[in-house]
């Protein structure tokens, strides 16, 4: 378990989520939120545990929550001095996402860009370069051991320019445990393209490749991605890969009221 990246708080939370991998796997309602501890069913997981996590970590992730329950969750959190920032959920099943994504990855990669092999060493320069690229695009990266699949089944894509600078990334993993109805759902994200390289289709390509791998390598039945309401390029990118807004589901992060939004 290693390769932590970001502010002291971000690194502490990554370490805590990793150290709790066994607890997450064996506890109904828990899930691996990557950057923080997480739950996908607060009713089963229990508010005592959520309180413990908020008290210890100052943050807790909520994944694939029924949108009908968001107001109740928000008011529970507000009564604890916390804020609840949410993201829209875009989902597709295996056949739909794979068909759309295959059309994108079957085309050659834009000239002058190169696909790197999957990173496999959590503390390597390659992983640090990927994390720095994600951070420069406004994302909070995962730890090296999450990115290399040491904690949960995962796939990480990296594309470089001709000078070997990482210019694009994407990551997919399996966040949900055996008790969850979403146990075969892969999460896709950490999709970033260097500002100078945007608008050429790299985002769609890297996202499509990540989707192909979560089905072919991780055995997922569905893939979901989180998009903040104002992020139009991200929304169009995931829609081009076959995903559609699923308004009945919501993801979010609870943090203390005065904290900044956790990630883009
Ligand atoms: C989201 C992001 C990865 C897209 O990368 P990109 O290489 O520019 O995307 P693409 O060129 O593949 O275009 C993807 C779609 O967005 C559209 N798009 C691109 N830039 C856009 C803009 N500024 N406004 C509106 N739409 C835009 C494209 O037209 C395309 O849609 P289409 O297929 O319907 O035409 C990039 O903007 C980025 O790194 N943003 C910061 C990090 C982030 O927000 N990541 C997503 C959250 S995980």
Q: Please choose, from the candidates 187, 242, 179, 246, the residue with its C-alpha nearest in 3D space to the C-alpha of residue 214.
A: 187
What is the reported pLDDT for 195?
97
What are the boundaries of each domain within the chain? 8-256
Contacts of 103 (CB under 8 A, 6+ apart): none
Mean pLDDT, range 221-238, rounded to an integer: 96
What is the reported pLDDT for 189?
97
What is the reported pLDDT for 197?
97
CATH of 8-256 given 3.90.1150.10, 3.40.630.30, 3.40.50.300, 3.40.1190.20: 3.40.630.30
Nearest CA to ligand 1 atom 23: 233
* pLDDT of 73 above 70: yes
Between 262 and 134, where is the model more confident?
134
What is the reported pLDDT for 15?
86
* pLDDT of 263 above 90: no
pLDDT tens digits, residue range 1-22?
A: 578 888 888 888 888 888 889 9
Ligand 1 pocket member 237 (CB < 6 A) = yes
What is the reported pLDDT for 7?
87
Ligand 1 pocket member 233 (CB < 6 A) = yes
Ligand 1 pocket member 206 (CB < 6 A) = no
- Residue 178: count other Cβ atoms within 10 Å of its Cβ: 8
Ligand 1 center–CA 264 separation, angstroms: 13
Mean pLDDT, range 218-223, rounded to an integer: 98
What is the reported pLDDT for 257?
82
Nearest CA to ligand 1 atom 27: 233
Would you report the helix, strand and coil content of the chain in percent, each value rounded to 5? Answer: 40, 25, 35
Mean pLDDT, range 40-50, rounded to an integer: 97
d(C-alpha 17, C-alpha 90), whole Å = 24
pTM of the model: 0.95
Ligand 1 pocket member 203 (CB < 6 A) = yes
Ligand 1 pocket member 89 (CB < 6 A) = no
pLDDT tens digits, residue range 129-183?
A: 999 999 999 999 999 999 999 988 999 999 999 999 999 999 999 999 999 999 9
* pLDDT of 74 above 80: yes
What is the reported pLDDT for 5?
86
Ligand 1 pocket member 216 (CB < 6 A) = no
Lookup: tokens for 217: 């390598």
Ligand 1 pocket member 199 (CB < 6 A) = yes
Measured in whole angstroms, the distance separating CA 258 from the mean position of its chain's CA atoms is: 23
Mean pLDDT, the chain, rounded, equals 94
Mean pLDDT, range 94-117, rounded to an integer: 96
What is the reported pLDDT for 2?
77
Ligand 1 center–CA 206 separation, angstroms: 11
Helices and strands, counts by H and E, the chain: 10, 10
pLDDT tens digits, residue range 178-219?
A: 999 999 999 999 999 999 999 999 999 999 999 999 999 999
For residue 262, name the pLDDT band (cuts at 50, 70, 90): low
């Amino acid at each position: 378990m290693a390769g932590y990246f970001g502010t002291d708080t971000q690194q502490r939370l990554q370490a805590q989520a990793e150290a709790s991998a066994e607890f997450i796997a064996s506890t109904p309602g828990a899930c691996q939120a990557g950057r923080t501890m997480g739950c996908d069913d607060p009713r089963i997981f229990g508010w005592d545990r959520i309180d413990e996590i908020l008290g210890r970590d100052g943050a807790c992730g909520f994944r694939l929550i029924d949108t009908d329950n968001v107001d109740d969750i928000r008011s529970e959190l507000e009564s604890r001095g916390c804020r609840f920032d949410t993201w829209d959920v875009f989902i597709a099943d295996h056949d739909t996402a794979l068909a759309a994504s295959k059309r994108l990855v079957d085309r050659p990669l834009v000239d002058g860009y190169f696909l790197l092999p999957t990173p496999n060493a959590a503390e390597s320069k390659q992983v640090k370069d990927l994390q720095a690229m994600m951070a420069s695009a406004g994302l909070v990266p995962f730890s090296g051991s999450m990115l290399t699949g040491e904690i949960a089944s995962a796939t990480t894509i990296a594309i470089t320019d001709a000078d070997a600078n990482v210019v694009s990334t994407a990551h997919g993993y399996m966040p949900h445990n055996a008790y969850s109805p979403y146990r075969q759902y892969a999460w896709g994200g950490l999709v970033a393209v260097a500002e100078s390289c945007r608008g050429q289709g790299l985002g769609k390509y890297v996202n499509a490749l990540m989707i192909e791998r979560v089905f072919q390598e991780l055995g997922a039945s569905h893939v979901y991605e989180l998009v903040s309401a104002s992020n139009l390029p991200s929304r169009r990118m995931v829609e081009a890969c076959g995903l559609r807004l699923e308004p009945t589901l919501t993801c979010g992060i609870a943090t203390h009221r005065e904290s900044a939004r956790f990630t883009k």
